[in-house]
Amino acid sequence: MKQKVKNIIRKIKKFNYKYYFNTSILFFTFVITNLINGMLLRFFTVHNYFAIKPILADLALILLLGSFVYLFKPKNRFKYLLIVSLIFNVICIVNSLYYTYYMSFASFSLIAVSLTVVDVGDAVTKNVMQPKDFIFLWQIITLFIVHAKLKKKGHYVRVASKENKKKRFTGTIISAICVYALFFATVTSVEYSRLAKQWNREFLVSKFGVYTYQLNDLFKSLDAKFNTLFGYDNAAKEFRDYYSIKEAHKSNEYTNMFKDYNLILIHAESIQNVALRQTFNGQQVAPNLNRLKDEGIYFSNYYAQASSGTSSDSEFTISTSLLPVTNGAVAISYWNREYETIQKLLKNQGYRTISMHGNTGSFWNRINFHNSLGYDKFYSKSDYNIDEVIGLGISDKSFFSQSVDILKKEHEEYGKFMATLIMLSNHTPFDEIDKYGEFPVDIKEEVTTTNELGEQITETKSYPYMEETKLGNYFKSVHYADSAIGELMTKLDENGLLDKSIVVIYGDHDAKLPKSDFVRLYNYDKEIDDIKSKEDETYIDVDYFKYELDRSVPFIIWSKDKKLSKTIDTAMGMYDAAPTVENMLGVIPTYNIGNDIMNLNDNIVVFPNGNWVTNNIYYNSQKDQYKILNMNYVINNDEISKNNEIASKKLNISNDIILYDLIKNEKDKLQRVEGE
């Protein structure tokens, strides 16, 4: 053994490192530049660009894929390294773009979803695409330059005559394995678990690097395609166990309050609570929504739980009380599963179910997706007269006006109904300010001065404040959308459609607005026309948690004939919406993972990325950090661990229901057993 070690040391000493490096310049250029690109991506996203773990993981995969270059003749190696580099560049560019919009990382299972971007291309180019997203191309340019210089010097001809290709291939593979071994020796059990689940993508990239994350994602995406072959039994057992011990629904003072009432759901595109709270020069951004929330039940601590499927995820979650799938979008990849939905439960009670949207039926596959959710009829773009366009399609005011006419006919023909009206005008990029109507987002004040004659003159002075910012334009857009909702309510009432009806308004997701604009919103100093100093005691820090909490959206339940006038501040997620409304309508779900919020004083809202929020804490699962929301709350680490377990369970059960079509398959299995 001792002699073997000596032989190895002797070989290492004799190894001609200078020759090796001189004849592997292109390979090392490939390795180093792609490694730097991985660090650059993390610099732009998760900000841990010098962390050792992801560097080791990226290096190992780059070496592994790069090693195969030695199976080619020297003159053909550039082509192979170029192809691999192109793949790495695409990974970096796509993830950079994706992170800008979704604050998460892309997945192979989202390829079908990404094709829908064609329909919102203007929003992408104006709000997502940035120069930084293409900085990664320097790597390919560098590779070309190095290749050209080596070729000019006859490098490849010299290498071909002296090199042992087999040894270099084997040595590089072994090096990659050694680096991976070193990396995995530092990986904790928690990190292994999250790698297997794949739902916390920001955490994975920060710990495993973007290339290893993407490779793992490829395997997980392929695994999802074969989920009927593997893992079903365990998922089914977890499903049965979860619902066998689930607490039975409890009646409360709202049970059957709106039994046999029509249900009108207003899907309020991108409207956040911050817009309802905001005023400019004494004028509310959303006066109609504020009136409706004051007259109805307003859930002030309500959060959307959308993932990469954005609006379609919200349509799914509010219908099913399930979370979006962790890979892809339900509307695209899993629309043909069987789900228990509020639409189907109401259909069983004799309701006509209708959905209405001014976009094309193919967008988010709604023409099939809505049928799967249990809608009897989907009215889309082809059913409307596109007489006024704002942003992506028909204006909300025109859409609502025509929708009321359709609803009146449906009601006259079929009787009681459930209808979902999906708004469109308040969609990013919020740049059609000439169509939103006049609504200044500046600061105006009366200033009195004395002229040379001693006369007092009062003038109106204006400070720009939020003008010409994306957030400012967003407030203008919301003001228009709010006005459209006001006109809708008036026309519904004029046509008798608010009699024995409840109106439920929900923000589908946040507007993905820049944090810098919120800093300006909270810290603008008109005297200097700029943001006040951080040392100012009134300065409001828009940190990660403040930004996340400001992403909350409105949820309002309103009825013309019942004066509700109540605010519920219990933390609530979109998956709690259906059980809450269903209880009021007199129907009880079975396969929900949310709760009737009227039965709870505290609740946990789980987000698709593993974060969660309660009345007391907002927990960031990526960084294992939290913010206390209730100053009277005493930190309880056991409670945090318990909530992490609850979050993981809800994510897994919901995901398994979708992937394995558990509701249908377990029902079929039970029927077969009963038939025997």
> Measuring CA to CA, how many Å separate 580 from each of 175, 319, 345?
57, 12, 14
CA nearest to 512, candidates 308, 261, 328: 308
196 C-beta neighbours (distance < 10 Å), count: 9
Dist. CA 156–CA 240, nearest whole Å? 63
Alpha-carbon torsion (340, 343, 345, 350), positive or negative: negative
Mean pLDDT of the chain: 89
Which has the higher per-residue pLDDT, 539 or 153? Answer: 539
Of the candidate ranges 202-211, 435-444, 602-611, the one whose mean pLDDT is the lowest: 202-211
Rg of the chain taking only CA atoms, in angstroms: 29
Residue the block writes with tokens 């259906």: 578
Dist. CA 473–CA 465, nearest whole Å? 12
pTM comes to 0.82
Q: How confident is the model at residue 189 (pLDDT cuts 50, 70, 90)?
A: confident
Instruction: Report, as an integer, the average pLDDT of 608-615.
Output: 95
pLDDT, residue 16, reads 46
pLDDT, residue 637, reads 86
Dist. CA 631–CA 230, nearest whole Å? 47
Highest mean pLDDT among 621-625, 627-631, 632-636: 627-631
Contacts 24+ apart (CB under 8 A), 158-164: 158/23, 159/23, 159/74, 160/73, 160/74, 160/75, 162/23, 163/23, 163/74
Considering the segment(s) 239-433+466-585+594-675 as one domain, its CATH architecture is 3-Layer(aba) Sandwich (3.40)
Q: How confident is the model at residue 127 (pLDDT cuts 50, 70, 90)?
A: low
Highest mean pLDDT among 11-25, 390-404, 436-450: 390-404
Contacts 24+ apart (CB under 8 A), 393-397: 393/358, 393/359, 393/424, 394/358, 394/424, 395/425, 395/435, 395/484, 396/423, 396/424, 396/425, 396/426, 396/480, 396/481, 396/484, 396/485, 397/483, 397/484, 397/487
pLDDT, residue 14, reads 46
| Token pair listed for 99 | 């992170």
User: Is the confidence at residue 593, as pLDDT, over 80?
Assistant: yes
Helix (H, G, I), strand (E, B) or coil at 263: strand
Helix (H, G, I), strand (E, B) or coil at 499: coil
Residue 30 backbone dihedrals phi, psi, to 5 degrees: -60, -45
Q: What is the pLDDT of residues 542-567, one digit of tens each?
A: 999 999 999 999 999 999 998 899 99
pLDDT, residue 12, reads 45
Q: How confident is the model at residue 671 (pLDDT cuts 50, 70, 90)?
A: confident
Q: Report the percent of the chain where pLDDT is more than 70.
A: 89
pLDDT, residue 5, reads 47
Of the candidate ranges 16-30, 150-164, 583-597, the one whose mean pLDDT is the lowest: 150-164
User: What residues does 506 pair with on adjacent strands?
Assistant: 267, 555
Instruction: Report, as an integer, the average pLDDT of 410-423.
Output: 98
Alpha-carbon torsion (40, 43, 48, 50), positive or negative: positive
Q: Please, what is the Cα angle at 97 between 94 and 101, to 5 degrees? A: 135
Q: Report the percent of the chain where pLDDT is more than 90.
A: 65
| Token pair listed for 394 | 């028909």
Helix (H) or strand (E) holding 510: none
Q: How confident is the model at residue 676 (pLDDT cuts 50, 70, 90)?
A: low
Which has the higher per-residue pLDDT, 189 or 182? Answer: 182
Of the candidate ranges 183-187, 291-295, 410-414, 576-580, the one whose mean pLDDT is the lowest: 183-187
318 C-beta neighbours (distance < 10 Å), count: 27
Of the candidate ranges 86-95, 197-206, 508-517, 580-589, the one whose mean pLDDT is the lowest: 197-206
> What burial class does residue 230 get, using C-beta atoms within 10 Å of its C-beta: 0-12 exposed, 13-18 middle, 19+ buried?
exposed
Q: What is the pLDDT of residues 360-398, one digit of tens each?
A: 888 888 999 999 999 999 999 999 999 999 998 999 999
CA atoms within 13 A on the CB side of 612: 23
pLDDT, residue 117, reads 45
Q: What is the pLDDT of residues 518-527, one digit of tens each?
A: 999 999 999 9
pLDDT, residue 122, reads 47
545 C-beta neighbours (distance < 10 Å), count: 19
pLDDT, residue 194, reads 73
- What are the residue ranges spanned by the domains of the chain? 10-225, 239-433+466-585+594-675
248 C-beta neighbours (distance < 10 Å), count: 5
